[in-house]
Amino acid sequence: MRKYILGFISVIIIGSIAGCGGNVESNDKATTKVEETSNETTYLMEEETSLEEVESINEATTEIAEETTTSVAEQETTTKEEQTEKKTEKQKETQKTTQKTTQKTTQKATEKQTSKPTVTEAPIVTKVGNVDNATYNKAVSAFEGIVKKMRKDGVVKATDTCVVMEGSTIKIDINYGDKDTDLILSKGSNNIYTLTVDYDFCWISGMATTINGKDSSSYNKELLKAVLSMVSGEVELLYNRIDMDCFSAMGLYSNKWTQIGDCSIKSGEIKVDKYFTYLITKEDVDSRDKTFTLVGKNSAGKTVECILEYDSSVVTYETTDNGAYMEGNAANNIFGYPTIRTGSSTYENYKKTLVDSWKAKGDPNAFVTEISTHSVNGYTYYWFELFYETADAKGDPEVLYVQIGANEYLELYGFESWIRLEDFANDALYIKEIKVK
């Protein structure tokens, strides 16, 4: 009977040990079964065994139950610690992800707040109404450089409207301190342009208005040239003549056209402290009514014909034994012998050769004094006075020089004129065309 009991107990122990590998629910069931078996064992023992044997059996059963319970508790503790550890790691990862996302969002928001807002620049030339596209594109090309420079230098803002084209009229303004427009170029139906200049608009350093802390003179100069380029292909010549009219004693006529470069210009309406104007055109507005042909030879021996135009009320031409002769009226005192010569490629070369010739004749101090220069129809007229003195000669002749070919030039040596060079060139010695035969 004891063997039976011990065998039965062994079965219980083996079953309990095998049950430890299961889940918590299985362990609970195993524990319950042990308790039930223990009760049954005790009941049998009361009938068939002594009290000591019963106590021995009970102690063994209790130890088995305690070991099983401890094993289950340890397993539950280990499982909870692993779950807690995994939960903590997941929380850390979530926290890191949240922190990164928050940092990126904050950084982007900060960058967006600190970045400069997008500025929409005003057009180089703003269109108003019906505008000819070809003329508009020409205006954009003319003003682009100076407008961008003013924006870069802080004279005007990128959003400021500096140049406006309304129909065929162009308006330029960078001085917003007054209500006046700096420059206006308008085209008349007769192809005569009117250039209106604000009375305070100036391109002389130290005299121009200060705009945003900048001397506006250099910008005004370029703006004026840009306006003139809408009319003339020889901007520098036209600009220099206007500059001369404004800041020298050699003003433009208001009742007579002066041809300069490829244009004719005269002074227009003036309102003191308001504005002054110029009339500019490429139309034929001169008063020349006659032609005369000078004949000479070039360095290759070919015949050169220089066709001159002139105003017959200013001068007359005739052919003499000494060559062509020109003579003016009593008011202008013009006379001289215009001649085509060869042997000089530039004006500077001609002057040096002339002075050196008198030095060779005995005057080491021979020199020239410039009087005036005028450019028209592609030719430049140089007017100067030569001074020399030798043992048997002394003189101060006035000389006119015009380069008409690679090595050919028109010379008026020792001529006289009481009128200014631009009038002389335009009305008395206007070179219309050169022909080589």
pLDDT in tens, 363-383: 999 999 999 999 999 999 999
Instruction: Please report, as a single letter, which amino acid is at residue 372.
Output: S
pLDDT digits (tens, 9 = 90+) for 184-202: 999 998 999 999 999 999 9
Tell me the average pLDDT of the chain.
83
Sheet holding 323-328, edge to edge: 315-320, 323-328, 335-336
Stretch 336-351: mean pLDDT, rounded? 97
- pLDDT attached to residue 103: 62
pLDDT beyond 80 at 16: no
* Torsion sign across C-alpha atoms 354, 357, 359, 361: negative
- pLDDT attached to residue 177: 76
* The residue count for the chain: 437
pLDDT digits (tens, 9 = 90+) for 98-134: 565 556 665 665 555 555 667 789 999 999 999 999 9
The pair of three-digit structure tokens given for residue 3, joined into one six-digit string = 């063997």
Q: Closest Cα partner for 307 from 323, 298, 296? A: 296
Residue partners of 109: CB distance under 8 A and separation at least 6: none
398-403 vs 379-389, strand pairing mode = antiparallel
- pLDDT attached to residue 2: 37
- pLDDT attached to residue 371: 96
- pLDDT attached to residue 178: 78
Q: Of residues 51 and 363, which shows the higher confidence score?
A: 363
Percent of the chain with pLDDT over 90: 70
pLDDT beyond 60 at 269: yes
The pair of three-digit structure tokens given for residue 421, joined into one six-digit string = 């060079």
Q: Of residues 283 and 31, which shows the higher confidence score?
A: 283
pLDDT digits (tens, 9 = 90+) for 229-239: 999 999 999 99
pLDDT beyond 70 at 65: no
Question: Which stretches of 299-344 are assigned E, i.e. beta strand?
Answer: 303-310, 315-320, 323-328, 335-336, 339-342
Element (H, E) at 430: strand 430-436
The pair of three-digit structure tokens given for residue 159, joined into one six-digit string = 């959003």
pLDDT digits (tens, 9 = 90+) for 126-160: 999 999 999 999 999 999 999 999 999 999 999 99
Helix (H, G, I), strand (E, B), or coil: what is residue 233? coil
- Split at pLDDT 50, 70, 90, the class of 30 is very low
Q: Closest Cα partner for 184 from 280, 251, 252? A: 280
H helices of 115-210, where? 133-153
- Split at pLDDT 50, 70, 90, the class of 424 is very high
- pTM for this model (two decimals): 0.71
- pLDDT attached to residue 84: 55
Q: Of residues 70 and 144, which shows the higher confidence score?
A: 144
Give the DSSP per-residue string, 244-313.
HHHHSS-PPPSSS-EEEBTEEEEEEEEETTTEEEEEEE-S------EEEEEEEE-TTS-EEEEEEEE-TT
Q: Of residues 337 and 102, which shows the higher confidence score?
A: 337
Stretch 198-221: mean pLDDT, rounded? 95
- pLDDT attached to residue 97: 60
Lowest average pLDDT, out of 76-80, 322-326, 410-414, 423-427, goes to 76-80
- Split at pLDDT 50, 70, 90, the class of 90 is low
- pLDDT attached to residue 176: 83
- Split at pLDDT 50, 70, 90, the class of 277 is very high
Q: How far apart are CA 47 and CA 54, in angstroms?
A: 10
- pLDDT attached to residue 390: 96
- pLDDT attached to residue 407: 96
Instruction: Please report, as a single letter, which amino acid is at residue 125.
Output: V
